[in-house]
A and B are shown apart, each in its own frame.
Chain A
Amino acid sequence: MDVEILNRKDFVSKSQVKWCRGCGDFNVLKTMQSVLAKTGRTRENSVFISGIGCSSRFPYYLETYGFHTIHGRAPAVATGVKAVNPELDVWVITGDGDALSIGGNHFIHAIRRNQDIKILLFNNAVYGLTKGQFSPTSAQGWVSKSSPSGSPDRALSPLALAASADATFIARTSDNDPNHLAMVLEAAADHKGTAVVEILQNCVIFNDKVHEPYNGPKNRDENLLYLNSSMPLLFGKDKTKALINNGFGFKVAKVDDPCVLVHDPETQESTYAFALANLNYPQFPVPVGIFRQIQRPTFDQVLTEQQNRAIKKRGTRDLTTLLQQGSYQRLV
């Protein structure tokens, strides 16, 4: 077979990128282009489907197929795309407002169906494109244009929601750590089923440094918990702190505690990923990496299998047979 070898630049479209200077989205775009080349994806079989928001302009900048849809609905559009052409690699680009507020319903149901789509959720904890209102992931009490007295709502954890809907792939990474970002995106690309990737992303204009206390270059060693399969849950600069079980959650313990947990992303119970997703700074380190990765039939596989069963049961019917069901012949 004639295989075209592509590099990152082959995935760069001619459109001028129109994000603010310093926006975290640039890094994600660049890394995505590299990952597509590195993992041997083709341009024609890659489809990026987005909703509305700054991050949802992402598809315009990739030399693949792209569909910039409407607010919150990208997972639903993607479900239809993948259902009729399972050969395609379908990516959904969304943000915290797009996926969790207006599109919350579609986000939950896409995950529940395990449609084979990769959802990249750019979480900057603010509505950027509408210029700075609080979002579903903004901290309670956060003062914004639409919340001069502070946001009245509790923040929602995107990954806890994904775990509740029993997502088969759950991961978190940061816009400012290209190597980690690439590792997570590659794993998502290879996963069969709905992959939910939360990208901690910085909005330089309306919510600058929101993730800095834990993912800033100076803070990440101390305050991020890097999840690695089969490795103990250790964190802190010199990896001196650890997580152990505490009721239905965790507590911080010393590294030599005999009960230190070992990370297993293939844990079948979604409660483990749920508990990880609910670890919040500053009480806890913020976990990054692959929380969960399990195998389950995908939505398009189920549809195909049902179709094969139906064909086996009924044989093939032509249009004439189909139209004439239940009819009687009238001879004149």
Chain B
Amino acid sequence: MTVTQLRQEVICFAGDSGDGIQLTGTHFSHNASTWGNDVMTLPDYPAEIRAPAGSVSGVSAFQMQFSSTDIHTAGDEFAVLIAMNAAALKNKIGGLVNGGLILADQNGFSKKNIELAGYSSDPLSDGSLPDYRIIADNFTHLTVQSLKELNLPPKQLRRSKNFFVLGIVFWIYSRSLTQTEEWLKAQFSDKPLVMEANILALNAGFNYADTTEIFGESFQVEPAPKKEGFYRTISGNEALSLGFICAAEKLQRTLFLGSYPITPASEILHTLSKYQDVGVKTFQAEDEIAAACAALGASYAGALGITSTSGPGLCLKTETLNLAVMTELPLVVINVQRGGPSTGLPTKTEQSDLLFSMYGRNGDSPMPVLAAASSADCFDMALEASRIATTFMTPVILLSDGYLGNGTESWLVPNPDDIAISAVEQYQQTDQFHPYKRNPITGSRPWVSPGTKGKMHRIGGLEKQSVTGDPSHDPDNHQRMTKERAAKIAGISAFIPEQPLTGETDDLVLVISWGSTRGGVSSAVKQLREQGMPIAHTHLRYLNPFPANLAAIIAAFKHVLVFELNNQQIVKLIRAEFLTPAKSATQTTGLPFKVRDVVKTISEYYGEITDGC
């Protein structure tokens, strides 16, 4: 038996939404990560909990890349497609590379399954897939056979088929079963029969692959060279949750999350609700508005108040955000963006709430907007959002999206001692206390919470008299306060990191990206630079205000190309702010950019501007 070494591999598990595909994929990614691979995952599942069984719209998929080198995306195309039924094959075959392997459960290709998937005959045997290698067997049946000694109904036994298939995939990539077995033991300690069924199925799948000779060879992806330390796979939603816990501890504040369940942000509520023991308070409110209001109330009372949501929920929270702008209280709003408008595409990714985050409020209402660049970066940006909110006494919108929220990657766990934020030193007013007397350095007002002796004061949504904070309808005061609020937010640019640039200012083209597209766009630029193309790249995580040196970077380029997953949003900000005729490259498929597509777009643009030179 030969073991072939691979530099990296991309695979995709696909099946019915009740087949346990997400769990199977997660186990494989944990295994790869523990082995030392660099890992990135892209879960893709339907909005319905159980869409009609066997239908193409009900397919749940989990794509992942694992590598012996540093990677930044879950891969463009996969080399192996694990298809649990005909619909899964139909839905995902477009993503399989030519010559790729289809590992199919023949039991999911019944006459009815084939019809439901929209095939006229069995694609596994009718010769319609000549470009692929097909390995198909009755995996469900084999699972049931291997478990027949257990006293469980056949329906229950069939459920273990995902572990049977996982066993096969573990064999293909020369992996150990131990970690998954341990997890099953812990997870089903109160259901010993289910535990035993899954462990037996896992081993049966592994042994099946080992003893039948249909595979011929197995593969190995060596660990990636990495720094010493503790690693784990983490999703964006988990990283945000941990980031806020760290931020609250560093700021010496109670963390209070007000939230209302919404896809794809609910995992933040789920995750944080498990940390009551470290002092986290979570509040599942009656609606999005109450969730934001309670978080603002918590901030007013001296906690780090945060609220998590997705686009439609942000619509409902805007009045509260404006109250936070007017009362100058800290509040972090996490928006895990999804496809819109309206209910849109709840489980798909998009970056289309940017302009809404910037401007979607009545009045002149400036607010910092940040965007995490990867699942792991969600941790860092949670710290940054908390730092900015509390230092500058302002609500902050932190943008993530479905791709970052659900997707996972390997994460080098930081040492908490290295986290640099600390409790904000309150500006001491020497004379009489005034709630709107500003810190001359940051422009922020003091954060004085109820319970503080001798500083009783009243705040609210009415315009404030400068310094005293009393309600005021004075025309000159409103003009002054409008400017003070704007200046405070604009001034944050002096307190954020410099904008980094990949490449040189004398490169021909500047590629700009923001938020979750960093992986795809930076991988594409890297490829092109390695081919000698003069393409520079800058990736934005601070969107309002922009870093102070961004103007100089953009001014150095005649040709600017902006990538984003919406119908032209940040490109408008860049054109307006920097008066550059930036070109726009967008995609609104609900999926992240493919590296190949970004490479093609940049190459074509480069061709256009150099044509005739």
A contacts, CB < 8 Å to B: 13, 15, 43-47, 49-50, 52, 59-60, 62-70, 73, 76-85, 87-88, 105-106, 108-109, 303, 306-307, 310-311, 313-320, 322-332
Q: Which residue of A lies closest to B293 (CB)?
A: A76
B415 within 8 A of A: yes
B279 cross-chain contacts in A, Cβ below 8 A: 307
Known: A70-B319, A76-B297, A79-B294. A59 touches B458 (CB 8 A): yes
A80 touching B246, Cβ below 8 Å: no
A59 vs B471: C-alpha distance when bound (angstroms)? 12
A84 touching B323, Cβ below 8 Å: no
Residue picked from B281, B287, B301, most chain A C-beta under 10 Å = B301
B458 touching A80, Cβ below 8 Å: no
B231 cross-chain contacts in A, Cβ below 8 A: 327-330
Known: A66-B458, A77-B300, A80-B305. A85 touches B293 (CB 8 A): no
A306 cross-chain contacts in B, Cβ below 8 A: 276
Minimum CB–CB distance from B148 to chain A (whole Å) comes to 34
Q: Which residue of B lies closest to A68 (CB)?
A: B460
Minimum CB–CB distance from B71 to chain A (whole Å) comes to 17
A13 vs B435: C-alpha distance when bound (angstroms)? 15
Known: A73-B320, A106-B286, A323-B242. A87 touches B451 (CB 8 A): yes
A76 vs B291: C-alpha distance when bound (angstroms)? 8
Known: A78-B297, A332-B228. A73 touches B413 (CB 8 A): no
B contacts, CB < 8 Å to A: 30, 33-34, 36, 226-232, 242, 245-246, 249, 254, 256, 258, 275-279, 281, 283, 285-287, 289-291, 293-303, 305, 319-320, 323, 327, 413-416, 449-462, 470-471
A311 cross-chain contacts in B, Cβ below 8 A: 276-277
A45 cross-chain contacts in B, Cβ below 8 A: 450-451
A214 vs B467: C-alpha distance when bound (angstroms)? 47
Q: When the two chains form the complex, which single residue of B302, B319, B327 contacts A85, counting CB atoms closer than 8 Å?
A: B302
A80 vs B303: C-alpha distance when bound (angstroms)? 9
27 contacts between A and B (CB under 8 A): A43-B456, A64-B456, A65-B457, A68-B462, A69-B460, A73-B293, A79-B290, A79-B294, A80-B298, A80-B300, A80-B305, A81-B300, A82-B301, A83-B297, A83-B298, A105-B290, A106-B289, A109-B290, A311-B277, A318-B416, A322-B245, A323-B414, A323-B416, A327-B413, A329-B229, A330-B228, A332-B228
Minimum CB–CB distance from A44 to chain B (whole Å) comes to 5
A interface SS class: mixed
8 A-B pairs with the lowest CB-CB distances in the bound complex, closest first: A68-B460, A80-B297, A80-B294, A66-B458, A76-B293, A76-B290, A65-B450, A319-B416
Q: Which residue of A lies closest to B287 (CB)?
A: A105
Q: When the two chains form the complex, which single residue of A68, A106, A328 contacts B232, counting CB atoms closer than 8 Å?
A: A328
A49 touching B297, Cβ below 8 Å: yes
A60 vs B464: C-alpha distance when bound (angstroms)? 13
B323 touching A310, Cβ below 8 Å: no
Q: Which residue of B lies closest to A88 (CB)?
A: B450
Q: Which residue of A lies closest to B183 (CB)?
A: A326
B450 cross-chain contacts in A, Cβ below 8 A: 44-47, 65, 81, 85, 88
Residue picked from A45, A323, A328, most chain B C-beta under 10 Å = A323
Minimum CB–CB distance from A106 to chain B (whole Å) comes to 5
A314 vs B232: C-alpha distance when bound (angstroms)? 21
A328 cross-chain contacts in B, Cβ below 8 A: 33-34, 230-232
A77 touching B246, Cβ below 8 Å: no
Q: When the two chains form the complex, which single residue of A64, A88, A310, A324 contacts B413, counting CB atoms closer than 8 Å?
A: A324
Q: Which residue of B lies closest to A16 (CB)?
A: B470
B283 cross-chain contacts in A, Cβ below 8 A: 79-80, 83
Residue picked from B230, B450, B451, most chain A C-beta under 10 Å = B450
Q: Which residue of A lies closest to B33 (CB)?
A: A328
A5 vs B454: C-alpha distance when bound (angstroms)? 15
A313 cross-chain contacts in B, Cβ below 8 A: 277
